[in-house]
Amino acid sequence: MNKELEKKAIERLKFYETPDDPYYLAYSGGKDSDCIKILAELSGVKYQAYHNLTSVDAPETVNYVKSQKDVIIQRKYWDYEHKNPITMWNLIPKKKMPPTRIVRYCCSELKEWGGKGRKVVTGVRWAESRARAESSDVVKILTGTAKVKKLAEEINAKYVESRQGGIILNNDNAESRELVEMCYVQHKTTINPIIDWKDSDVWEFLRHYGCESNPLYQCGYHRIGCVGCPMAGKHRYVEFERYPKFKENYIKAFQRMIDYPGYTGKWKNGEDVFRWWMGEDLNQLTFEQLLDMQELQEEYE
């Protein structure tokens, strides 16, 4: 196991900690979040781990998360008073389009909404994808408003702008820390202690600390995400074979989207949408749908 990487990750966690303000640790039930939870324990920093139920988590993932007694499980509601949860099934008709690789409205609504006003620790790593490699670093402030940039310049904190317009910092120096302290309450700020870990580093680390991990990894899964996540591409065929009820629910949600008042698209029924969504019928996107997608993409980037 790479002890140097472990040491560096622990130092990062300690360096950005605010006394008396525990980290919000984003726990998905995947290997990277197991890794950051163990690192948080090893470092002795104060933290609270949260898992946000999305309504499309695999049952094995939900059970695995429930087995982690130190993880707080929560969900987001349309209306907290009447406990009316936001789910993939009611979000799709409301958004008037299925979630796609470029318009992942579900992530911000279902998965990544927590941690407002807190420093959020994530298991984001460069090795996950090229997009992650280009748009993330040890610290990411998700917005790069003129005010945030001015603060950075005033204290001489060196930063790079991410593709989505946020600010990313890779210096564990006093200026970076000061900028994080000034920003995190108002601007979503993530600390990514294992940003530079490879898959093999993660697995070696988990083995070393005896972590069993989500059982789906033993079923040939490389990444743990929502069932039907558009980022999973063709792997969704495997998922829907395993969880046919989820496929049914997606088709029903697409049908409700078509039946929703004001729907003007070209799709005839939920099955049609499902085929397009799975990449089987790429010619069915209307110009209006493309415009909608573009608008939503801008909104959620």
In the bound state with ligand SF4, the residue whose beta carbon lies nearer, of 73 and 231, is 231
Report the distance separating Cα 51 and Cα 73, nearest Å. 5
Cα 75 to chain centroid distance, Å, stands at 14
Q: How many residues bind ligand SF4 (CB under 6 A)?
A: 12
Q: What is the DSSP letter of 128?
A: G
Residue 87 interacts with ligand SF4 (CB under 6 A): yes or no: no
Measured CA to CA, the distance from residue 70 to residue 48 in angstroms comes to 8
For the CB of residue 101, give the shortest distance to ligand SF4 in the complex, in Å: 8
229 binds ligand SF4 (CB under 6 A): yes
Among 5, 110, 157, 206, binds ligand SF4 (CB under 6 A): 110
Per CB under 6 A, 225 contacts ligand SF4: yes
Q: Which of residues 39-58 bind ligand SF4 (CB under 6 A)?
A: 54, 56
Could you give the angle at the alpha carbon of 299 between the alpha carbons of 124 and 258, nearest 5°?
A: 105
Shorter beta-carbon distance to ligand SF4: residue 16 or 27: 27
Torsion sign over Cα 24, 100, 225, 131: negative
Q: Which of residues 88-107 bind ligand SF4 (CB under 6 A)?
A: 99, 104, 106-107
CB of 11 to ligand SF4, least distance (A): 30
Residues 184 to 223: which contact ligand SF4 by CB under 6 A?
none
Bridge-based pairing state of the strands 189-191 and 139-141: antiparallel
Residue 53 Cβ, how far from ligand SF4 at the closest point, in Å? 11
Nearest CB to ligand SF4, comparing residues 52 and 189: 52
> Residues 10, 231, 258, 293: which binds ligand SF4 (CB under 6 A)?
231
Nearer to ligand SF4, 194 or 227 (CB): 227
DSSP string, 232-284: GTTHHHHHHHH-HHHHHHHHHHHHHHHHSTT---S--SHHHHHHHHTTS-GGG
- The two beta strands, 160-161 and 167-169, are antiparallel
Of the candidate residues 45, 194, 195, 226, the single one contacting ligand SF4 (CB under 6 A): 226
Minimum distance from residue 51 beta carbon to ligand SF4 (Å): 13
Output 31 or 104, the one with its CB closest to ligand SF4.
104
Cα(147)–Cα(87) distance, rounded to whole angstroms?
34
Q: What is the rounded CA–CA span in Å between residue 225 and residue 86? A: 18
Binding site for ligand SF4 (CB under 6 A): 54, 56, 99, 104, 106-107, 110-111, 225-226, 229, 231
